[in-house]
Chain A
């Protein structure tokens, strides 16, 4: 029997659609934490909303499992990320509720060494705090462009705006982010 960890996402999805629970669990454990971290950034740290979005994204994945081509070019992780991004943007359009980052969401860190882990966690925490200080649309554009690596036309389609608007949002957002990070660094060094 093939080791689950060696199987592609698409192969695991094919097994999951046939009712293979362990394969679904491996897929959830493989893609879920990364997706949740991304969605939490998109939602400004709203853990409850992020969980709902991740659940809905996976629900759509299970619903699409039957049509998924195991040998096709589409990547399950890319598809999930795009669905989750659209859901996060839609959720923002529907309601503008934002809540503080919940406890216990700190990223699992594989960096060796306690000091290195602490530095990385501290910097990512500062980054998240700075991202939360941006406007909703600036944050979404910056996360999609500079963290997730989507192209400007893709982001424009997701955010239902023009490419120029995306360029403006990402440029201004990144400038503001850099200023906020410099400010946070200055405070730490004082």
Chain B
């Protein structure tokens, strides 16, 4: 066999096929079925944007209210504090709300 013969044989091998066998074929098709049905649908409800549009500002307002109007509640969960407002903080809150801030008067 010379080099040309070998090249021809190698090229012939390029078109070679091996039967899959029933077992492998069935596994490949099972995989295809699972891969195409298991994936969640990419289609979204046309109203799904409302959740984000309403949710984000609502959460922001609630967070702001909780931090300012219910400051003592928030502070009770903050470590390394005694859960009360310092005098400087009440003065600051007086400035924000334009009234006299009483410790515990968060309602």
Residues on A facing B (Cβ under 8 Å) = 16-19, 21, 24-25, 28-29, 32-34, 36-38, 40-41, 51, 54-55, 58-59, 62-63, 65-66, 104-105, 107-108, 120, 123-124, 127, 146-149, 174, 177-178, 181-182, 185
Contacts and interface: CB of A to CB of B under 8 A. Distances in A.
Given A21-B33, A62-B32, A65-B36, A124 B12 contact: yes
Contacts of B35: 59, 62-63, 65
A19 B39 CA distance: 11
A59 B31 contact: yes
20 contacts: A16-B32, A24-B33, A29-B20, A33-B18, A36-B24, A37-B17, A38-B16, A51-B24, A54-B24, A59-B31, A63-B35, A104-B19, A104-B21, A105-B19, A107-B18, A124-B12, A127-B13, A147-B10, A148-B14, A181-B1
Secondary structure type dominating chain A contacts: helix
Contacts of A34: 15-17
The 8 lowest CB-CB distance pairs between A and B, nearest first, are A62-B35, A33-B17, A24-B32, A37-B18, A36-B18, A37-B16, A146-B10, A107-B16
Interface residues of B, number: 29
Contacts of B1: 178, 181-182, 185
Contacts, number: 104
B17 A55 contact: no
